[in-house]
Amino acid sequence: MTRIQSVFNLLKRVGFALLLLGAIIGTANAQVWRQVELVNSEFDVALSEMVSDSFGNLQIYFTESLSASPGLLELKFMYVSGNGAILYGPITLNDGLASPFAAGMQVAGDGMTRSWCIWQDSLAGSHQARGLLLAGFDSHDHVSMDPVYLGLDTFRFNIQPGLLDLTYRPQDQTLHLAEARFVARYSKFSTAGEVLVWKQFIDTVFITERVHIATSPSGDVWAVYRNEDPNGNGAEAMFIKFNNDGSMAIRHPFGTAEAHSSTAVGLTFGLNGDVNTVVGLDAFDGRYCRLDSLLSVQEWHELSVEHPYATGAIGQNTLDDVLVAWSEFGPLHSDIYASVRLADGNWTMNGAAVGLQLSDPLFMHVAPVGNMNWAIVTSLETSDSRDGLVLFTTDTTSTNVGHEPIEEQPSFVIFPNPSNGIFSIGLQTETGGQFFVYDVLGRLVTTVPAYQPRAGLSIDLSAAPTGTYFVFSTNPHVKPFKILLQR
């Protein structure tokens, strides 16, 4: 039974995302953005990042000042629905430290239910002794992971984004950390906090202050560093692949600094291995760039709408749609815009206004909400002149509302009928969807036609042999489940 449950958990985490990919027709055409104030901090929100899960909700980590001086920073977590309703939290992750000073925070998720956060913090109440720590959250069980100490880190982080980045590799369930704090380093950890590679020095990067890292569908881990040329010719966006044997592969898709001074912001991989990023060449004008799996440039797309490009972020859903969001600094304020590149190459929401006449955003991160909506999190000045945490979202239909921790409630009831292998299911969801049934080897057994809201349906396994079967739905409100067929 334990082995069956382990297989089920694996299929639930990996298979559900793949099923959503092939079964849902994405629209990505929503044009209306809502602004939701998540945190109105007494002092300031310094950093934040988020990932989305297979329930269409957002896992958000952020650091908040505890006083008017930057001496204490709490690391907090909250679980938020796609429309901005707080479902769980905020909870403090570093409250066990005598002098918490959370800095350099970065987040990665598995795309299903789990996320992890790595950050630097004070140890033993001393600002001189600092280390890297790891914590996390699982939205399936609503369990947060207690902080795990990874190792001593005496280099003091600045409170600014881009100094390090984190990615998750599902093939071996590992976390990969790239650092760009003047020198470039690479580390690798298990999701439980076991250190596998610690601060491997990258001598091909001369001076750096920005990095982004991501995992390709095949499991390759790539980082793009801003590498300053030692001869003073500017900087280049240098791509580095970290191989399992400790070696590295280096690519210069935009040429070296002698040819172009380039900087990359954000990094995602498409389903076929294509690379999506935002690049500035010579002048940081901010252009979307798509490269093929060999890192050859295939497409450029201009982003600026009215004022000069300031900062941006990029995200991708399981349908291969890409959202690019960016801010532009005007004379008296900043504006945020967004464009979506669909998997077929067409652009929608092209330069759509997300928020206008805003204070300067300190950072920006994006995440998909299911396969129909998007979310952007940033820090903006609130009415009391403090930097609060603000969410922009196109989701206006989420049913997950309320400010209490959500309870696990079954959204269906199974009535097995062993005599003929037909299983009747009474659904209680407000939206429809489709079912897919897989065996323990991950082979598709049957597809159940689309069902209507609050309508019953039957899964016919009359021709299937005795065994365990796993059922997934394109409806994120219907949780994956298993059927034990006995004859």
Identify whether the C-beta of residue 308 lies closer than 8 Å to the C-beta of residue 286.
no
367: its two tokens = 């995440």
pLDDT single digits (tens) 35-48: 998 988 777 888 89
β-partners of residue 422 are 460
Q: Please compute the mean of the pLDDT values over residues 411-421 and round it to a whole number.
A: 50
Q: Report how far residue 295's alpha carbon sits from residue 220's, in angstroms, rounded to the nearest whole number.
A: 13
Cα Rg, the chain, nearest whole Å: 23
Give me the chain's average pLDDT, please: 80
pLDDT single digits (tens) 320-357: 999 999 988 877 788 899 999 999 999 998 899 998 88
Please name each of the domains of the chain with its CATH number: 2-7+409-485 (2.60.40.3080), 27-393 (2.120.10.10)
What pTM, to 2 d.p., does this model score? 0.75
In this predicted structure, which of 18-32, 58-72, 353-367 has the lowest mean pLDDT? 18-32
Q: Please compute the mean of the pLDDT values over residues 449-466 and round it to a whole number.
A: 72
Q: Report how far residue 30's alpha carbon sits from residue 364's, in angstroms, rounded to the nearest whole number.
A: 20
> How is residue 388 annotated by DSSP?
E
pLDDT score at 188: 96
pLDDT score at 134: 95
CA angle 473, 272, 243 (to 5 degrees): 110
pLDDT score at 385: 61
Local confidence band at 2 (pLDDT 50, 70, 90 cut-offs)? very low
pLDDT score at 280: 82
Cα 90 from chain centroid (whole Å): 19
In this predicted structure, which of 21-25, 240-244, 274-278, 447-451 has the lowest mean pLDDT? 21-25
388 Cβ partners below 8 Å, 6+ apart?
37, 38, 39, 40, 41, 45, 379, 380, 381, 382
199 Cβ partners below 8 Å, 6+ apart?
151, 179, 185, 186, 187
pLDDT single digits (tens) 246-276: 899 999 998 887 777 888 889 999 988 999 9
% of the chain exceeding 70 in pLDDT: 78
Q: Report how far residue 19's alpha carbon sits from residue 110's, in angstroms, rounded to the nearest whole number.
A: 15
Strands (E), 95-253: 103-109, 114-123, 126-138, 143-152, 164-169, 174-181, 183-190, 195-201, 211-215, 221-228, 235-242, 248-251
Q: Please compute the mean of the pLDDT values over residues 364-388 and round it to a whole number.
A: 83
pLDDT score at 99: 75
413: its two tokens = 């009831």
pLDDT score at 248: 94
